[in-house]
Structure 1
Amino acid sequence: MARLTKKKKEAQAKVDNNKIYSLEEASALLKEITYTKFDASVDLAIRLGVDPRKANQMVRGVVSLPHGTGKDMKVLALVTPDKEAEAKEAGADYVGLDEYLQKIKDGWTDVDVIVTMPSIMGKLGPLGRVLGPRGLMPNPKTGTVTMDVAKAVAEVKAGKIDFKVDKTGIVHAPIGKASFSTDKIIGNAKELLSTIMKLKPTASKGVYVKSIYMSSTMSPSIAIDTKIG
């Protein structure tokens, strides 16, 4: 444990807490201060000038990261028998309906994304208390409730993620892995940030993007200039 603490201190010493880094500087620095033995996730935390308690200031959306997430997203397709083949061909890890509804009811949630069809949403309603807190409830706004199941599954597998501002006004989202090149980290970050900028609620007044921090698993956070062009 002492070795880990030493590495953390060394990583922290490389970050100037009084400096606002450019996206390019932060992406390069992050690779220097990531000390985990596994391939750490890279995340952005964007504090927005919105009041998420008000429906007209909720920020939620989807983005297809150009370089993917670096993670093999486990997808469950809850579909009728006639859609099973296309869901499997598109890469869904689990495909079915009643048996998986029962598994979820029993507490199974070992997936990253659930894709389903409009006609099945009624069956998912009673499972909201299980799926909701884990961010697994399918939603038409994120493209996970659709008749084009194959397309939805393929997009998730290719790097499509959904994000939502939390109750404190912060959007947390993964943008790749520490093993990514700086160019890939920068490209994914820019795609996410530009998407969030387009979603500014008209009811939001004042500064919209208040702060941006980049970090990897267990690394210190790096403050990024909110004016990224």
Structure 2
Amino acid sequence: MRKLSRRQQTNRKKTENIICSSTEEAVSILIETATAKFTETVELHANLNIDPKYADQQLRTTVTLPNGVGKSIRIAVLTNETNFAEASNNGADIVGSNDLIEEISQGNINFDLLIATPDMMPKLAKLGRVLGPKGLMPSPKSGTVSTTLSATLEEFKKGKFEYKADKTGIVHVSFGKSNFSASQLSENLIALYKSIEQNRPPGVKGKYFKSLFICTSMGPSIQLDLNMFD
């Protein structure tokens, strides 16, 4: 069995047998355990009482956190030539039409998010095997198929992102960086929790949340009281 480092042992002592009853307490411990030599990502792991194999128990939605997630993204826009100027002037990093489709088909994916106008979606169908596994296929549900490019680009540049539950019913999502202030992390955590709660799938019966944990990318899990957001 691999021996824990002194840093890991110290951090575990700070979180063992503790269930945080307030966001202030949870975020304080989170910051204390962010002791890696780089800026760590801060994550929420929510175990939900859902079975995603049923259509009415799936969770997939978007959220814009008050303080962003501390990450800049490259956005590509697939549209016709009449919209090129609008996309470029509103923050798109890559703009294209058939030429962009050809680039993608060759495996040249130099972006983190792909936004498309509806008229281009039939042409994208053949690229489902390339974009699907990477989570880059535009869809109306995620807000990445749009006729209002300027507004859509503004939202995603501000930090709007998509999240979903995995096949076991757990949501794994980042809500900031370890160099955020305590108030910024608390605001983001509350906003993310409310987003998950408000998008409760219609097929869920009884209690929705099974457990909630937060952590940094290199730190121990910190358990949250399920009633702390009431």
> Which SS does the other structure have where 2:212 is aligned?
strand
Aligned length: 226
> How far apart, in 2, do the equivalents of 1:36 and 1:131 lie?
33
Question: Stretches of 4+ moved more than 6 A in 1?
Answer: none
Q: Which residue of 2 aligns with 1:19?
A: 18
The residue aligned with 2:9 is 9
Write out aligned runs for 1:149-228 (5 A): 149-227=149-227, 228=229
**TM-score using structure 1 length:** 0.93
Post-superposition shift, 1:57? 0.7
Q: Relative to structure 1, is the Cα distance of residues 48 and 121 closer, same or farther in structure 2, using a 3 angstrom cutoff?
A: same
Identity of aligned residues (%): 39
Q: Any conservation in 2 of the 1:44–1:175 contact (CA below 8 Å)?
A: yes
1:66-77 paired onto structure 2 within 5 Å: 66-77=66-77
TM-score normalised over the length of structure 2: 0.92
Tell me which moved more, 196-205 or 177-186: 196-205
Partners of 2:108 and 2:215 lie apart in 1 by 30
Deviation of 1:38 (Å): 2.4
Offset at 1:9?
2.5
SS in 2 for 1:142: coil
Distance 1:49 1:122, change over 3 A: same
RMSD: 1.7
Cα distance, 1:63–1:19 mapped onto 2, change above 3 Å: same
Q: Aligned residue for 1:85?
A: 85
SS of the aligned residue for 2:194 comes to helix
Determine if contact 2:79/2:119 at 8 Å carries over to the other structure.
Answer: no
Output the CA distance in 2 between the equivalents of 1:108 and 1:218: 31
Please name the residue that 2:125 is paired with: 125
Question: Aligned AA for 1:19?
Answer: I
1:17-54 Cα deviation digits (max 9, x unpaired) = x2211322121111111123322111111111011000
Distance in 1, Cα, partners of 2:185 & 2:9: 24
Amino acid at match of 1:207: K
> What do the CA deviations read for 1:57-102 (whole angstroms, capped 9, x no partner)?
1111111111111101111111211111121222111111223222
Instruction: Determine the structure 2 residue equivalent to 1:145.
Output: 145
Q: Which structure 1 residue ranges, 5 or more long, are not aligned? A: none
| CA distance in structure 2 between the aligned counterparts of 1:138 and 1:37, rounded to whole angstroms | 36
Gap runs ≥5 in structure 2: none
Q: Which amino acid aligns with 1:180?
A: F
Distance 2:101 2:9 in 1: 46
1:32 aligns with 2:56: no
Structure 2 CA distance for aligned equivalents of residues 36 and 95 of structure 1: 38
Give the equivalent residue in structure 1 for 2:61.
Answer: 61
Whole-Å Cα distance in 1 between the matches of residues 109 and 25 of structure 2? Answer: 38
Partners of 2:213 and 2:106 in 1: CA distance: 37
**Corresponding position of 2:52:** 52
- Confirm or deny: 8 A CA contact 1:23 1:225 kept in the other structure: no
Contact 1:77–1:115 (8 Å) recurs in 2: yes
Maintained 8 Å contact 1:75/1:111? yes
- Partner of 1:103, secondary structure, is helix
Q: Distance in 2 between matches of 1:112 and 1:9?
A: 36
3-state SS of 1:14 partner: helix
